Structure 1
Amino acid sequence: MANEFTNSPRFIPEASPDEQVPAIAPSIEQRRHQIFPVLTEQETRRLRRFGTVRTYDNGVRILEAGYTTFGMVLVLAGRMAVHRYDGLGNSSLIVEHGPGEFTAEVSQLAGRPSLVNVTAVGTVEALVIPADQLRALVIAEAELGERIVRALILRRVNLIEVGSGGPVLVGPAGHPNLFQLQSFLTANGHPHTVLDPAQDEGTLALCEHYRPGADDWPLVVCPDGSVLKNPSHAEMGRCLGMLPELPPDKVWDVIVVGAGPAGLATAVYAGSEGLSVLALEARAYGGQAAASARIENYLGFPTGISGGALAGRAYVQAMKFGVEVGIPMVAARLVCDAPPLAIELADGQRVRGRTVVLSCGARYRRPSLANIRQFEGRGIYYWASRIEANLCAGAEVILVGGGNSAGQAAVFLSAHAARVHMVIRGDGLKATMSTYLIERIRATPNIELHPHTEIVALEGDDEGLKQVRWRNNRTLGEKNCDATRVFLFIGADPNTDWLGDCGVEVDAQGFIRTGAAVAAAPCRAGENGAAERAALETSVPGVFAIGDVRAGSTKRVAAGVGEGAQVVSQIHGYLASLPAAR
C-alpha cells in the first residue's frame, strides 16, 4: 500500500477499506437500546426549536474526526454512517443512524471536536443542534434530556471499551512516557488506542517516517492526523480539544481552581444558577478521589461507587450546565492588585474573574528516598487505577500508607496482584482507617500488613524499579523484596505555594485559613456597615477556599462536595456587594 507524506505534521496514509466491527462492547451490550435510542416523531418535533434543518448529498462528510465541533445531529430522513477513524487512515464502520437517531457523545456537550467521521448515505435531511443549544435542550426537556445524556455517557464508555476514536499512542510496551500519557487519558475518561511498534506492522510507515529517538516515544497520532513526539499533557490536551480557547477580555463570575469533588460541586451548582464558570484543572477531573477504587460511605450509594465514576458523572453535569473546563490548565499565580481578580496560567495566559474558588487540593507526598523520581511511572505510583492494576498481574506489590485511600487501593490491587504488602510506620490501622476497610483487609488472604516498617532504599536501572529494601523500626532488621511496583499513599501537602503574591493567609502547614480563622485582614463592609467575611472566604475578599486545601476541613469526599455547594451562596452574597458597574 502506498503512503503519502507532506511537509505538514499530518500523517494520512491511504485509508484502508471499511469493515464492520462490533458496535457495542460485550459488557454493555444489554444497554444497546439506551446507547442508540430512536426518538418518536413527536419528540423530534419538540427538538426542532433547538436546531437548524440541513440537507446533505450522498457521500458528504457531515462530521470529520478531529475537526468538526458540534452538539448533536438528528436524522430526519435518510441515513448517516458513523465510522471510527484513527488518524492513521484506518476506518471502520461503527453504526448507521436512520430517522429518529442522532450522532453525538458526551464531549459534544462542550462542543469538543468529533471523535468519529459521519457520512451521508444517500440524501440526508438532518436537524443540526449546536453545543449551546444541546445544553439548553437537555435542561428544558427534562425527560427527553435525561435519555439523551444517558446515551452520550454510554457512548463514551463504549468508545473506551472497544478502543474506538481518540488518539493513537505508538510506543514500546512498558515505556515510562507511554505509561504517563495512558494514565493521563484514562484519568480523563478519553478513548485511545495503544500500539507497540514491535508488534503492529501498521505502524511501520509512521516509525520509518518520523524515526523516533529514545526520547521521542511515544508517537501520538491525533484524530486530525497530526503527529506529536512525546507530547506534554498540555500538548495532548490541545490535540484533543480539551483546552478551550479563552476570550482574553472575558470576566468570569467564578473561576474554580481544581476540579476535584469540591471544585466540581461548585462548578455544577454555580453553573446551574446561571453564573459563568471556568474550572481549571492541572491533570484530570476528580482529583485524588478519582483514584479510589470504591467509595462505600458516600450518601446514596449503598453498594459503593468508584471515585472515577463519581467524578465522571459530576464532570458531565458541569458540562451540561455550561461550565467551561480546561484540562490541563495549571494556575501559576493569583493576581489581586486591582479588580477584577486574575489568575496567570503556566502557559502565560491570564484569565479574569469576579470571584475565585480555591479547591486546588494537595500534591502527593514523596518519602525522602534519594532516587525516587527516577522510578516514578516505572515502578513508583501515587494512585491505583485499572492501568496500574494491569501492570501488577500475578506479581508482588508494596503499598505504603494506612489511610482510607490506602485501604481501598490495597483491596483493589489484591484482585490483580499475587500479594499486596501493606507497609505502615504505626502499630496498626485502627487510628487511621475506617473499620469496614480494616475488616475487609483482614478477610483478604493475599494482603499482608507490615507494621513499624518503612522503605529505606530503591534499586533499579533505566528500565525501572527492580528491588525494594524495607526496615522494621522496632527490630531494626532489614529485608529485600523483589517487588517492582510500589504504591505510595502517605498523604499530601497543600498546593498553595502559588498564592504568595496575593497574601492569602495560610496556617503553619500551608492550608488556607477562611472565615473566623483568618487572623487579621481587611473585610468588606456588610449591609449594616460592619466588617463581614463569609465562612469560606479567605483573607482576600472574593477569594474562597474549599475542600482539602482549606484549613480545618474534613478530608472526605462528602465534606468537599458539601463545601462546594455551600460556597455558591456565599459567592452570590459577594457578587451582590460589588458596585453595579462591575
Structure 2
Amino acid sequence: MNTAQHKNVAVRETPDRYGAFPRLTSEQLQELTAHGERRRTTEGEVLYREGEPFREFLAILSGTVEILQDHGGPQERTVAAHGPGRFLGELGMLEGQAAFDTAVVRQAGEILAIPVERQRTLISRDPVLGDLILRAYLGRRYLLIGLGAGFRILGSCYSRDTLRLREFAARNRLPHRWLDLERDKEAEALLRRFSIRPEETPVVLWKGERVLRNPSNVELARLIGLPAPTAQSAQCDVLVVGAGPAGLAAAVYGASDGLTTISVDAVATGGQAGTSSRIENYLGFPSGISGGELIERAVLQAHKFGARLMVPAQVNGLVPQDDDYVVTFTDGSQVRAGAVVLASGVRYRRLEVPGIDGLEGISVYYAATVHEASLCEADPVAVVGGGNSAGQAALFLAHHASRVHLLVRGSDLNADMSRYLVDHVERHPKIEVLLHTEVRGASGKDKLESLSVEDNANGERRLLRAAALFVFIGARPRTEWLRGLLALDEKGFVLTGADAQAVADATQWDSLGRGPLLLETSLPGVFASGDVRSGSVKRVASATGEGAMAIRLVHEHRDNVGNLVRTAGPEEPRPGTGQSVA
C-alpha cells in the first residue's frame, strides 16, 4: 500500500508474511472487472459476517477493509487488514461454508464483487490466477485455525463427546477453539453467561450468541454449512462412498467426465491421508506436502468440476433396483445411483491391552493431528507401530512433545517403513526407537501416565512414562455394512476383478455377457478402489490412481462393453486413433 496516499488510515494493512495475503496485479483486476460489478463502500459497512454464508469474491479497488473475529463481542480482535489490490474470503467460501470471521470497511472506497460460482469458472480457466487465490485461501484457513477463530467448543478434556467434537472439527479442518472446563478460567465465565449447567457440556458456541448443547457431528456440520444429503441429490450417475484420496480422485474424474457425481463420507474429507503431517514421496511434490493441503486441493478440484461432497453422511444400505442401486444413509435419506464406487478406506486396529479401554479418546489415539498433538505439549508420548503412518506420526509429534518413544514389535525399522522416513526418524534427537518392544498394559487415573512395555526378545518388562499413546498397528476395512451384500475376503476387504468373479453369482452376469471388470466387485456396476479393496497397495498415489481407474471402468459398465471382444465398424474408432484421456 502507498503509505503516503493512505497515511491517515487508522488501520494499517497486514504484511503478507505467510503468502496468505497476495496482491492482484492491475491486469488481473482488469480481467476480473469484466465478470463482476463495482460497488462503493462506506465506513463501518459489514461486507460479510461471521456465521453467515458469503457467496461473493470481493477484491478491494480502493479503501481499507478489516477482518475481525468476534465482531462486536467482548473479545473482538483483528485477524488482518487489507488495502487496494487485495481480495477477501478464505477456503469456506469456495466450499459453501459459513464465514469464520467478519469483514468491516474501515476506510470508504470501492470493491469488485464476483459471484462465487463465476469465480470457480475463472479459477479453472486461468491457472495463474487460480493458483494465487487457492494458495491464499489455504494459507488463510490455516492461519484461522492457528488463531483459534471460528466456533468454540466448551467441554472437559476427560469427556468423550468433547473429544468427538474436537476430532470432527480437526479432521474437517474447521477453525475452532477449545476451552477446557478443567483449566480455562474463561470457560467458567461462559457457563454462567449462557446459563449452561456442567452436565449439559460439551457445548458449541457460535457467533458469541448461539449455543448447541452436546450436538451430534451432523448438527455441528449443518451449523457450519457442510452440505447434507437432500432431495436434490436423490439421483446421480455415480455415488462415491468415501472421500479419501481414492474417493476424491473418483469424484474429480467422474465429474470432469460429465457424470453427475456425489461423494459422501461418514467423518471428513481426506481419510487417513488428511491426518498426515507430511507426505514426501507423492509424485510432483519434491519438498513434500501436508495431507491437509493435498486433500483441500482435491476437494476444490472436485467442486470445480461440479461434484457434490457431503459430510458427514454414513451409508448403511445398498440395494439393486432395476439397472441402478439405491443407497441408504443412517438418517433415512436415499440416493439412487447408476454406479457406485466404494472407497471407504480403513480404520486403525485397536490395541488390546489391560487398562486401555478407559483411556481411548482421552489420551490413547489412533490418529496424530494438530488436535491430538495440542494435548501433549512438553510431555513424553509413545507411538506404537513400524509402518509409514507410525513414522510420520513420530516426526510430527516430535515438534510438540518433549520425547517420542517409537515402539516397534519387529527387529528392523526398515521392514515396513520407507527408507526416507527411517532416515528422518533415526536422526531426530527427540525420537527414541525401541525395537522388539510391545505394550503390555496402560495405567493412569484420568489420563495415561505410564505404559508397561516388554522386550519380546528377552522378556524383560519396564514402565515407560508417557502422557499419550498413538497406535498405528495395522488397519481393518470399513465394510461392516457390506457383509452379505457383496464378496469380501477373510479380513473383510472387498474382492474385485478375477477374485470377485471366482465367488460371484454367475446369473447376475449372464445378461451382460462378461465377468467383473478389474476393479468391479461381485455386483455389476459396484467398484472398489483404494485401501478398502482386497490386494490394494495402501499408498496415497495408488489409491488416487485406482479412484481414477474406477471411473474409466464405470464408463465401460455404462456402455456395456466390459470384457466383450468387439470388432470396430466404420463408425467405431479403434484404440489409439487420437482420443486422449488426461
Q: TM-score range by the shorter chain?
A: 0.7 to 0.9
Partners in 2 of 1:56 and 1:21 — Cα distance? 18
Q: Deviations over 1:375-423 (max 9, x none)?
A: 1122201122233334334433222111121122223333443433333
Superimposed CA distance per residue, residues 511-557 of structure 1 (whole angstroms, 9 cap, x where no aligned partner): 1111222122356679xx73153211111122110001101111111
Q: Is the 8 A contact 1:86 1:168 kept in 2?
A: no
The alignment partner of 1:344 has SS state of: strand
Retained in 2: the 8 A contact 1:111–1:131?
no
2:17 is the alignment partner of 1:29:
yes
Whether 2:420 is the aligned partner of 1:436: answer yes
List per-residue Cα deviations over 1:254-274 (Å, max 9, x = no partner). 221111111121222223333
Say if 1:451 and 1:60 are closer, same or farther in 2 by CA, change over 3 A.
closer
Q: How much has 1:120 moved relative to structure 2?
A: 5.0
Task: Spell out the pairing of 1:201-216 with structure 2 (5 A cutoff).
Answer: 206-216=190-200
Structure 1 residue 567 displacement after superposition: 1.6
Equivalents in 2 of 1:447, 1:191: separation in Å?
30
Matches within 5 A, 1:343-382: 343-369=327-353, 371-382=355-366
Q: Which residue of 1 aligns with 2:257?
A: 273
Distance 2:332 2:12 in 1: 44
Determine if the alignment matches structure 1 residue 253 to structure 2 residue 241: no
Matched with 1:220 is 204
Provide the residue aligned with 2:316 in structure 1.
332
The residue number in structure 2 matching 1:410 is 394
Closer/same/farther in 2, CA of residues 253 and 379 from structure 1, 3 Å limit: same
**Structure 1 residues 366, 46: closer, same or farther in 2, change over 3 A?**
same
Q: Pick closer, same or farther for the CA change 1:49–1:479 going to 2, 3 Å.
A: same
Counterparts of residues 3-152 of structure 1 (less than 5 Å): 23=14, 29=17, 31=19, 35-40=21-26, 42-48=27-33, 50-51=35-36, 59-75=44-60, 80-85=65-70, 90-97=75-82, 100-120=85-105, 126-152=111-137
- 2:84 and 2:414 map into 1 onto residues whose CA distance is 60
Alpha-carbon deviation of 1:498? 0.7
> What corresponds to 1:3 in structure 2?
none
Q: Distance in 2 between matches of 1:43 and 1:577?
A: 47
**SS of equivalent to 2:121:** helix
2:548 maps to which of 552, 565, 571: 565
Q: What is the DSSP-based 3-state SS (H/G/I as helix, E as strand, rest coil) of the residue aligned with 2:415? A: coil
Relative to 1, partners in 2 of residues 1:53 and 1:351: Cα closer, same or farther, differing over 3 Å? farther
Residue in structure 2 matched with residue 555 of structure 1 by the alignment: 538
Moved more, 210-219 or 300-309: 210-219
Q: In structure 2, the residue corresponding to 1:455 is in which secondary structure? A: strand
Q: Secondary structure at the match of 2:337?
A: strand
Greater Cα offset, 474-483 or 373-382: 474-483
**What is the match of residue 15 of structure 1?**
none
Distance 2:440 2:25 in 1: 62
Structure 2 length-normalised TM: 0.84
* Structure 1 range deviating more: 68-77 or 463-472: 68-77
Q: Give the 3 Å change call, closer, same or farther, for CA 157–416 of structure 1 in structure 2.
A: closer
Q: What's the counterpart of residue 517 of structure 1?
A: 499
Equivalent positions of 1:176-255 (< 5 A) are 177-196=161-180, 206-223=190-207, 225-244=209-228, 246-248=230-232, 250-255=234-239
Task: Find the residue that maps to 1:315 and give its secondary structure.
Answer: helix
Alpha-carbon distance in structure 2 between the residues aligned to 1:86 and 1:524:
62
Residue of structure 2 in register with 1:16 after alignment: none
SS at the partner of 2:450? strand
CA distance in 2, matches of 1:96, 1:296: 34
Structure 2 matches for 1:434-473, cutoff 5 A?
434-461=418-445, 463-473=446-456
- 8 Å Cα contact 2:96/2:226 also seen in 1: no
User: How many positions carry a matched residue from both structures?
Assistant: 549
Report the alpha carbon displacement of residue 109 of structure 1 after superposing the two structures with TM: 1.4
User: Hey, what's the Cα distance between the residues in 2 that align with 1:110 and 1:294?
Assistant: 23
Aligned partner of 2:558 in structure 1 is: 575
Question: For structure 1, which segment, 261-270 or 337-346, has the greater mean C-alpha deviation from structure 2 after superposition?
Answer: 337-346
Farther off after superposition, 238-247 or 176-185: 176-185
Equivalent residue number for residue 498 of structure 1 = 481
Kindly indicate whether the alpha-carbon contact (under 8 Å) linking 1:87 and 1:222 is maintained by their aligned counterparts in 2: no
CA contact (8 A) 2:90 2:137 kept: yes
How many Å separate the matches in 2 of 1:521 and 1:168?
52
Partner of residue 307, structure 2: 323
Cα RMSD for the two superposed structures: 3.2
Q: Is residue 71–residue 111 contact of structure 1 (8 Å, CA) maintained in 2?
A: no
Q: Does the 8 Å contact 1:244/1:324 carry over to 2? A: no
**Alignment match, 2:460:** 477
Q: Is the 8 A contact 2:251 2:302 kept in 1?
A: yes
Give the counterpart of 2:529 among 533, 537, 546: 546
State the AA in 2 paired with 1:35. F
For 2:240 and 2:226, the matched residues in 1 are separated by 17
**Cα distance change on mapping 1:202 and 1:486 into 2, 3 Å:** closer
Q: Which residue is equivalent to 1:486?
A: 469
Does residue 530 in structure 1 map to residue 495 in structure 2?
no
Contact 2:364 2:470 in 1 (8 A): yes
Question: Using the alignment, how far apart are the partners of 2:190 and 2:402 within structure 1?
Answer: 38
Query: What is the alpha-carbon distance in structure 2 between the residues aligned to residue 492 and residue 152 of structure 1?
Result: 33
Shift of 1:114: 2.0
Cα–Cα, structure 1 residues 132 and 244, in superposed 2: closer, same or farther, change >3 Å?
A: farther
What SS class does the counterpart of residue 37 from structure 1 fall into? coil
Alpha-carbon distance between aligned partners in 2 of 1:121 and 1:415, rounded to the nearest angstrom: 39
Tell me whether 249-258 or 78-87 shows the greater mean CA deviation. 78-87
Q: Distance in 2 between matches of 1:376 and 1:420?
A: 19
Aligned to 1:9: none
Question: Contact (CA 8 Å) 1:20, 1:92: kept in 2 or not?
Answer: no
1:293 match: 277
Give the gaps of 5 or more residues in structure 2.
Answer: 1-9, 562-582
Specify the code of the residue in structure 2 equivalent to 1:566.
M
Is residue 59–residue 119 contact of structure 1 (8 Å, CA) maintained in 2?
Answer: yes
Deviates more, 1:508-517 or 1:47-56: 47-56
Aligned equivalents of 1:452 and 1:121: distance in 2?
63
Range with bigger deviation, 75-84 or 321-330: 75-84
CA separation of 1:261/1:444 partners in 2, compared to 1, >3 Å: closer, same or farther? same
Deviations 1:214-248 (A, max 9, x none): 44333311248311223332222122112336235
What amino acid maps onto 1:469 in structure 2? S
Q: Residue 213 of structure 1: CA displacement? A: 4.3
State the identity %.
37
Tell me, yes or no, if structure 1 residue 155 matches structure 2 residue 140. Answer: yes
Shift of 1:201: 6.1
Deviation, 1:97, is 4.8
Aligned AA (2:546)? E
Contact 2:255 2:306 in 1 (8 A): yes
Q: Secondary structure at the match of 2:424?
A: helix
- Distance verdict in 2 for CA 1:190–1:23, change over 3 Å: farther
Structure 1 residues 530 and 577: CA distance shift in structure 2, 3 A: closer
Aligned position for 1:282: 266
Distance 1:204 1:471 in 2: 43
- Matched to 2:444, the amino acid is G
